[in-house]
Amino acid sequence: MMPPLLSTPPSSPPTVVRINQPMLSSVRQDKRQAKEWFGKACDNGHQAGCEEYRKLNEEGY
């Protein structure tokens, strides 16, 4: 006899992306584009995106 199927899929941990700071030193920063992407992340429910968007907005970007 086969085991019963799960009624709900197991929850997976949230995805967290961390960027190594030395890696950023060679990347040209485009804060207006970053603000746009953080805004999209915020619109999709990512609180960290909302926080970063707010910071850039307060800096005038």
> Are residues 40 and 49 in contact, defined by beta-carbon separation less than 8 angstroms?
yes
Residue closest to 36 by CA, chosen among 20, 53, 23, 17? 53
Cα separation of 8 and 21, whole Å? Answer: 39
pLDDT tens, 4-52? Answer: 555 555 566 666 666 666 655 556 789 999 999 999 999 999 999 999 9
pLDDT at 29: 82
Find the DSSP H helices in 1-61.
21-24, 31-43, 47-58
**Would the pLDDT of 3 be above 80?**
no
Euclidean distance between the first and the last CA atom of the chain, given in angstroms as a whole number: 62
pLDDT at 23: 54
Q: What amino acid is encoded at 29 in this protein?
A: Q
